[in-house]
Amino acid sequence: MDVNDPLDFELEDEFLKPPPKVSNKRRKKVIGLDDLLTDHLREQEKLKEEQNEQEKPKTKKAKKDASSYDDDEDPREAYLTKLVEKCENQLKDFGEEEDIPLWGVKVFGDKKAFPPLEFPELGSCKLLQSFLNSELNSVVELAAEKGDNFLEGLLINGWLPKLAFLCGHIEKPVAIWSFNTMLYSSNEELRNSSSDFWCAVLSSRKEVDQLPVEIGWFPEYSDLRTALDTHGFLFEFSSSGEPKNLDSDTGEPPQNIRAWLKFVTACCLIRSKRPVFSVVEAEELIEIIICLFLDRQFQGLLVLLNDCVEAIVNYFTDQEWHSSCENIAKFIASRVSKDLNCIQSVECIPVASSRCKQLKSAMAYQNLLSCFDGFLCQAHNGEDILRLLRAINFKDKSCDFFKMYIHLVLTENWVLSNSLIEDNPVIYEMFCLFLRQCSSLISASDLRSYASKVRHRAAYLMHFSIYK
């Protein structure tokens, strides 16, 4: 008996019997490394083919017309393609959007040589000698040998206007030096102090009909013009109908223009004491200020420009203003180009006084007349202008809505800024009908340039300006 043979009781127990041996007739095939490598390469080729099929550009569909789609393609995609092509064709019919530049002209160009700011004879002036011999100088301890440096100290510290009021006289060398310092100095502190000195002397109200200080030399209009010319003011802008574009300007505006504006404003406020400018010179001053309004570099000086315009407008007498207002309007209308600069030249005028409103209305009216100057049926009065505007066909593809926008803004300023037109029922009613045409006949879906601007501005004027 073999030791490894089962015992008798193990043979009788069913659970302890070993499982029967199953004979497998089929033997599995042994897979070698070569077979695995072949299968791996085959799978890689299949993956590459699938990637190539996905990366192929689908150019056949893009080149097909809407009528050549196969039955297998989605009909919604075909409809969308037709709709896009229709919209593109309509946009081509309207024309491409024009690149309309912003308003703005170049007012200053190259500078010229500045006059000298040193005056050796300043030390011998009686004004300074009186200060040197006073008890106050014992505290300050200034010496006359310092010349203009001595005068600069008095100017910056605010002593010069006080000395002028005490002495009641400003000698010619001091007046010329302070004026040139104000308009030509690059020192901001000196520039501002000189401007404050002149404004203090001119605006003093101790006397009603005369200045409280006798001035040995008073600047004239030619001196103000020379100062602008020295800083490079382009006077040819006033005689040429094509102002230069500001985009090409890389220089900075003259800093002394602030003092120039303050001085002109102060001179216009003392006409009862001393008429500084003639009527023609005052008219040209307003034209110069409007030119400054057209330079985008001076947008930070709007307060000074507005104050200066109001002061010059009020400088005229009632008799002078009636003709001067029309002269200024005709001059600006004949010089400013009929683009957004045309609108800016009108809307820059403040409306703080009745004269400013009258000037704004007159400038808008003269600009409208020049806009229709080339028409076969020229406009000779306000009714002709509105009749030509109402005859414009908005549905015509050749309708220029940019010009239409300029005409609308000019008409708005002409009618609404002139209180006399409200008493003219014909002009007022024609203007209301023109606004109604612009707001109702121009479709909201009109994509032509400036069509929506004309429509929205007309609608706003109808509801918030005319019938308020």
Residue 213: per-residue pLDDT: 81
275 phi-psi bin (left φ>0, alpha ψ -120 to 50, beta other): beta
Q: Which residues pair with 438 in a beta bridge?
A: none
Residues 232 and 189 in one domain: yes
- How far apart CA 169 and CA 92 sit, in angstroms, is 75
The residue segments making up the domain with residue 435 are 350-468
Note whether residue 60 is domain-resident.
no
Residues 162 and 231 in one domain: yes
- How far apart CA 438 and CA 442 sit, in angstroms, is 6
Residue 50: per-residue pLDDT: 77
- End residue of a domain, out of 315, 338, 368: 315
Residues 286 and 173 in one domain: yes
Residue 94: per-residue pLDDT: 53
Note whether residue 247 is domain-resident.
yes
Residues 151 and 225 in one domain: yes
Burial 375-400 (b: 16+ CB within 10 A, else e): eeeebeebebbbebbeebebeeeebe
Note whether residue 284 is domain-resident.
yes
Look-up: residue for tokens 């006080």?
Answer: 162
Q: What φ, ψ does residue 105 adopt, rounded to 5°?
A: -130, 160
Note whether residue 453 is domain-resident.
yes
Query: Which parts of 65-217 are beta strand (E)?
Result: 169-170, 214-215
pLDDT in tens, the chain (468 residues): 556 666 665 555 555 555 655 555 545 455 666 676 677 778 878 887 777 776 655 444 444 444 444 444 567 777 778 878 777 776 655 555 556 778 888 889 888 999 888 776 776 677 777 666 655 555 455 544 454 577 888 888 888 888 888 888 888 888 999 999 999 999 999 999 999 999 999 987 655 456 678 888 999 999 999 999 999 998 655 333 444 444 444 457 789 999 999 999 999 998 888 899 999 999 999 999 999 999 999 999 999 999 999 999 999 999 999 999 999 999 999 889 889 999 999 999 998 889 999 999 999 999 999 888 765 456 678 888 999 999 988 888 888 899 999 999 999 999 988 877 767 788 888 999 999 999 988 888 887 888 899 999 999 998 866 554
- How far apart CA 190 and CA 70 sit, in angstroms, is 84
- End residue of a domain, out of 265, 289, 315: 315
Kindly report the number of other CB atoms within 10 A of residue 275's CB atom.
13
Residues 308 and 355 in one domain: no
- How far apart CA 48 and CA 320 sit, in angstroms, is 93
Residue 352: per-residue pLDDT: 82
Query: Which residue, 329, 286, 242, 297, is CA-closest to 104?
Result: 297
Note whether residue 241 is domain-resident.
yes
Residues 120 and 203 in one domain: yes
Residues 388 and 458 in one domain: yes
Look-up: residue for tokens 């004239």?
Answer: 220
Note whether residue 2 is domain-resident.
no
pTM of this prediction?
A: 0.73
Report how many domains make up the chain.
Answer: 2
Residues 234 and 288 in one domain: yes
- End residue of a domain, out of 315, 339, 363: 315
Residues 128 and 248 in one domain: yes
Residues 356 and 310 in one domain: no
Q: What φ, ψ does residue 12 adopt, rounded to 5°?
A: -80, -25
Residues 228 and 160 in one domain: yes
Note whether residue 86 is domain-resident.
no
Note whether residue 279 is domain-resident.
yes
Assigned token pair, 274: 């001393």
Residues 260 and 397 in one domain: no
